[in-house]
Amino acid sequence: MQSDSLFELESEKSFLGFLLLKGADNLIDIPLVPEDFYQDTNRRIYKAILDLVDKRTAVDPVSVLNFLKENSLLKDPEREYEYIYSLYKDSVVSHPLGYYAERIKRLSERRKYSKLLMNALELIQKEPGENESVFNQIEQSLTDVSRSADVKGLLPVSGDKAALSEYIKEIMESRGQIKGLRTNFTQFDEMTSGLKEYEMMVLAARPGNGKTTLALNIASNVALIHNRPVVIFSLEMSRMELLLKLVCSYAQVESNKLKRSEVTKSDAPKLIDAIIKVTSSPIYIDDSGALSVDDFKGRVRKLLTNETLGLIIVDYLQLMNDPKNRDGGRQQEVSSISRALKQMAKEARCPVIALSQMNRSIEQRSKDQRPQLADLRESGAIEQDADIVTFIYRGEKGKDEEEDPRMKGMAEIIIAKNRSGPTGSFPLAFRPELSRFDNV
């Protein structure tokens, strides 16, 4: 594409001429900024118009020229006086204002991409760092430009009638059916209506309460039952440990028996079948351990070039790092990580489940040790970014065992935050020897 095809001076002139002729009342719906204009003179004129609108001053050639003069923004006064009056007298404005704005914005975004790609080529040729670091920088820049291109700005609701009617019709026709991604844990799916695109779910529990097991059970159900690709980032457990959990859960064979070579003849065919099922499923595992935000984004984006993902799992959030925000303290770093996970849910158009640690203070409570939102470690940013916050509580593991022996072999799943549905709790059977949670 030639450089002269990346701008349309006539569209810029017609847009500004429209405003000078008819005023700027329609600017509320226009997402243009001065930098979107190719020609410098047009940029300065549009900036003057925006400032006049802010000051509630009528927009016409005289007010624009006076503003430019008073703020020392005229570079060639005589020539620019003539240019502004020619916009007022000679511009052809046969289309609505939005028509010209759309063309200016589209070409502005293409110029940004073109400049970014040239910078990327220069970076590839000259940057001495590791390939992954260079590629992540480029991918992040492309994503930032794409995200800014998707921003629609303030729009009137008058244009939403058809889409809103269709959305309400779908809700009414669904009659409570699960519309999101099913986890196959019945009560969870009913309360959340399934995991949705763009959602981030935080799954938290005290150590040894089964948060990795529950996450893997969900991953297994999504990949093996619904055949949706699942990505698992494990920052604590190895690839083989995760696979062993998945296989033993599916085969319902005790992992300790397997590790001690005590499996029976009847267990062998179940294990073989489980190995075949698990290794042929669309599950991707990254057990690199030290995982930065940039590594996470880069690896997901690379996979997105070939796959439409169903679910991303990060085990666990506090083990990730963000070198760019490390100097601001751990609170700021975790906040950046949490925000990155939420943004990736939007970018990948699939839910993200982030496992999380909990504060030790929960163990000091004398009575009810059921987790609360405040018990999340570095809870502020995590709670704010999460669409769903789920806790696992096992009374038999804490001080309530004698008070409630019915919790033996059971877990209480607490949905403490649910942006699009109810909160509450429900029981699941927990069999840690099989790495399984089951509906009851």
Name every residue whose Cβ is closer than 8 Å to that of residue 132 and which is 6 or more positions away in sequence: 295, 298
More confident site: 149 or 330: 330
Q: At what angle do helices 77-90 and 61-70 cross, to 10 degrees?
A: 160
Give the integer Cα–Cα distance in Å for 412 and 62: 71
More confident site: 334 or 327: 334
Residue whose C-alpha is closest to residue 141's, from 122, 113, 121:
113
Homologous superfamily in CATH for domain 178-439: P-loop containing nucleotide triphosphate hydrolases (3.40.50.300)
More confident site: 146 or 164: 164
* Lowest mean pLDDT across 167-176, 194-203, 257-266: 167-176
Q: Residue 51's pLDDT is what?
A: 83
Q: Residue 32's pLDDT is what?
A: 80
Homologous superfamily in CATH for domain 1-150: DNAb Helicase; Chain A (1.10.860.10)
Give the tokens for residue 313: 């799992």
Q: Residue 216's pLDDT is what?
A: 94
Q: Residue 401's pLDDT is what?
A: 46
**Ranges of each domain in the chain:** 1-150, 178-439
Which stretch, 109-113, 223-227, 296-300, 320-324, has highest mean pLDDT? 223-227
More confident site: 63 or 395: 63
* Lowest mean pLDDT across 45-59, 101-115, 353-367: 353-367
Check whether 396 has a pLDDT greater than 80: no
Residue 206 burial (CB count, 10 A): 22
pLDDT tens-digit series, residues 57-100: 888 888 888 888 888 888 888 888 888 888 888 777 778 888 88
Mean per-residue pLDDT over the chain, rounded: 82
Which residue matches tokens 């489940």? 353
Secondary structure of 165-217 as H, E, C letters:
HHHHHHHHHHCCCCCCECCCCHHHHHHHCCECCCCEEEEECCCCCCHHHHHHH
Radius of gyration of the chain (CA): 29
